[in-house]
């Protein structure tokens, strides 16, 4: 505790502004728990970069932690590109303090002689990824905490390929940040000398590129589709409707109450399109207008939630695996019909994303890469294969998808365009996306996934999560829910253990604190701490066959019961 108080005492010095000093003094005098949470560690880069609760302290998002991160990033960029005019792009979303943190970031870059392209107002994260490549930048930053609660903000760092930073850049950047032991070493340029404001021209270039992903423009024009869209107070409010109209959609109803950017997210408990409540207003509008589909995006526009209309007129929120399956099937089927699959194409999924994508890849004879959780690893595969083979699409279970190679992060704008196109394609055949999903299951097998997250906040929570991981690692179960464990994949030790034959195999992926169990009946279970939230996550994937549309609902009940049994056993 003495170390924590000493760190906090430093934040009472004159180098910090009055508001910060007052907050720290209040914690020192009256709130030891808050003091501990604010100072027990420094914010670190996880799968999503820098992210935390806003407030004073080394473990909080504030002017000084953002400034120190940017100074460390500046130092690293200068070391990596000696003698070169370094360029960085900056975007930000609707969150409280996002614009402020973006300008702090621009100020530090500018003071270090780095050319900055700063967006004139909020923009979605994927547009930042596009902009880096479009303007020939060496790096980029977007200020966002994605779909986290309103108390959070974050700082995502991108490299010159447009993807989020990965090893070795991520660890080396944080090393540079740690070298800055005194906030006085952070350079600020209040005049923003090297900053250029960008906006409409980049928007046009981005939308022009997005339209190239469209496969069947003639179907869009000939098949009227009613769309309801909500940006949930976020950054896609203007650009997504423009993108939909650019490929021919006209009947777009926007949820007006949620079309006002607002970091307090006043109409929802959580701005997360994975949750039905976040899309409830949009679904009500869909019922009023008899819409074909509902689409919503998270605050920074990289994740999407899709609601489809069932045959009985009710609406169903798809999970991330289902959306990825529909988009992957549509792309593969149409690429195949148009003779675009030549034997050099591939898709990418993460290790916790549905194995249904593997079945599709095998059927259409394209390669499927499995990567660690985090879209930055999908971007890394695209970069490594760039110019050699052709990326068709890639997705993850956490509601993110991408097609094409000009954006290097999950893109809800592009994905919503593709979902609408797939819906029009299905409607032209007298089907809904719900019908199409069940047809996919009949053709390739019914894969159903479940996720259980346990939240463990604070320092003690992180310790508890690690203790749980250690227990699973040291006491590997022989069976789960009555099915024998056949394979254990330990991504931290880079080893696969075949428990049937007792053989060991190397895992050729970066080390990560993840355990995966393959059961003898085909069930796949993954246990991992979240890289962006104080959670431990349990992923379960089960599958079976169905022969017709009529078997779907009963089989769903059976597979859900199996998932519930497995999760109950894992978390008891």
Q: Which one from 74, 139, 146, 325 is the annotated catalytic residue?
A: 146
| H-assigned helices in 431-515 | 433-444, 458-474
3-state secondary structure 192-224: CCCEEEECHHHHHHHHHHHHCCCCCHHHHHHCC
For tokens 């679904």, name the residue: 283
Q: Residues 397, 321: contact at Cβ < 8 Å?
A: yes
- For residue 439, the number of C-alpha atoms closer than 13 Å in the C-beta half-sphere is 12
Burial class from Cβ neighbours inside 10 Å (0-12, 13-18, 19+) for residue 100 reads middle
Spatial neighbors of 111 by CB under 8 A, at least 6 apart, are 187, 188, 189
- Per-residue CA distances from 401 to 134, 294, 325 (Å): 20, 17, 10
Spatial neighbors of 386 by CB under 8 A, at least 6 apart, are 405
Spatial neighbors of 501 by CB under 8 A, at least 6 apart, are none
DSSP 248-300: T---EEE-GGG-S--TT-TT-S---TTSGGGGHHHHHHHHHHT-SEEEEE-TT
Spatial neighbors of 104 by CB under 8 A, at least 6 apart, are 63, 66, 67, 70, 188
Q: Residues 302, 124: contact at Cβ < 8 Å?
A: yes
Closest of 260, 257, 277, 259 to residue 269, by C-alpha: 277
Q: Residues 392, 382: contact at Cβ < 8 Å?
A: no
Neighbours of 126 (CB within 10 A): 31
For tokens 């926007």, name the residue: 254
Burial class from Cβ neighbours inside 10 Å (0-12, 13-18, 19+) for residue 84 reads exposed
- Residue 168, preceding bond cis, omega within 30 degrees? yes
- For residue 446, the number of C-alpha atoms closer than 13 Å in the C-beta half-sphere is 19
460 in catalytic set: no
As a whole number of angstroms, the distance between CA 359 and CA 367 comes to 11
For tokens 């107070």, name the residue: 233
DSSP 17-83: -HHHHHHHHHHHHH-HHHHHHHHSS----BTTBEEEEBSSSTTSBSHHHHHHHHHHHHHHHHHHSTT
Point out the residues that are catalytic: 146
């Amino acid at each position: 505790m003495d170390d924590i108080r000493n760190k906090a005492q430093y934040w009472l010095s004159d180098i910090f502004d009055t508001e910060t000093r007052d907050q720290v003094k209040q914690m020192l005098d009256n709130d030891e728990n808050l003091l501990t949470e604010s100072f027990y560690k420094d914010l670190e880069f996880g799968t999503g970069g820098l992210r935390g609760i806003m407030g004073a302290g080394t473990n909080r998002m504030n002017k000084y932690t953002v400034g120190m991160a940017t100074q460390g990033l500046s130092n690293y960029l200068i070391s990596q590109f000696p003698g070169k005019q370094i360029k960085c792009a900056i975007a930000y979303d609707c969150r409280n303090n996002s614009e402020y943190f973006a300008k702090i970031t621009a100020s530090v870059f500018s003071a270090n002689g780095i050319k900055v392209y700063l967006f004139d107002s909020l923009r979605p994260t994927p547009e930042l990824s596009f902009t880096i490549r479009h303007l020939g930048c060496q790096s980029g930053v977007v200020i966002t905490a994605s779909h986290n609660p309103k108390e959070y903000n974050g700082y995502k760092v991108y490299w010159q390929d447009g993807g989020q930073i990965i090893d070795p850049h991520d660890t080396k950047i944080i090393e540079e940040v740690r070298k800055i032991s005194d906030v006085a070493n952070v350079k600020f340029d209040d005049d923003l000398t090297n900053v250029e404001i960008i906006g409409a021209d980049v928007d046009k270039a981005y939308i022009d590129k997005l339209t190239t992903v469209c496969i069947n423009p003639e179907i869009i024009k000939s098949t009227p589709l009613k769309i309801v869209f909500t940006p949930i107070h976020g950054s896609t409010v203007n650009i997504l409707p423009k993108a939909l109209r650019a490929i021919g959609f006209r009947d777009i109803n926007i949820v007006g109450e949620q079309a006002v950017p607002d970091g307090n997210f006043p109409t929802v408990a959580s701005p997360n399109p994975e949750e039905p409540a976040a899309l409830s207003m949009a679904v009500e509008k869909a019922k009023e207008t008899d819409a074909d589909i509902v689409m919503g995006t998270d605050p920074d526009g990289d994740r999407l939630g899709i609601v489809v209309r069932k045959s009985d007129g009710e609406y169903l929120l798809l999970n991330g695996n289902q959306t990825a399956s529909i988009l992957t099937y549509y792309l593969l089927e149409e690429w195949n019909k148009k003779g675009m699959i030549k034997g050099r194409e591939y898709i990418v999924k993460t290790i916790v994303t549905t194995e249904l994508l593997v079945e599709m890849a095998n059927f259409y004879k394209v390669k499927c890469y499995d990567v660690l959780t985090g879209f930055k690893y999908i971007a890394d595969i695209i970069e490594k294969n760039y110019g050699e083979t052709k990326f068709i699409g890639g997705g993850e279970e956490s509601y993110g998808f991408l097609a094409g190679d000009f954006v290097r992060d999950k893109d809800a704008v592009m994905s919503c365009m593709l979902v609408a196109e797939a819906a029009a394609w299905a409607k032209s055949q007298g089907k809904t996306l719900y019908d199409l999903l069940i047809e996919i299951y009949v053709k390739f097998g019914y894969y159903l996934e479940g996720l259980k997250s346990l939240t463990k906040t604070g320092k003690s929570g992180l310790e508890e999560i690690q203790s749980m991981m250690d227990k699973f690692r040291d006491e590997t179960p022989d069976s789960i829910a009555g099915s024998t464990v056949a394979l254990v994949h330990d991504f931290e030790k880079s080893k696969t253990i075949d428990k049937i034959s007792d053989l060991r195999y190397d895992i050729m992926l970066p080390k990560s604190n993840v355990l995966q169990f393959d059961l003898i009946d085909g069930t796949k279970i993954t246990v991992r701490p979240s890289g962006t939230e104080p959670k431990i996550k349990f992923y379960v994937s089960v599958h079976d066959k169905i022969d017709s549309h009529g078997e779907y609902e009963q089989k769903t009940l059976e597979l859900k019961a199996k998932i519930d049994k497995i999760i109950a056993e894992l978390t008891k």
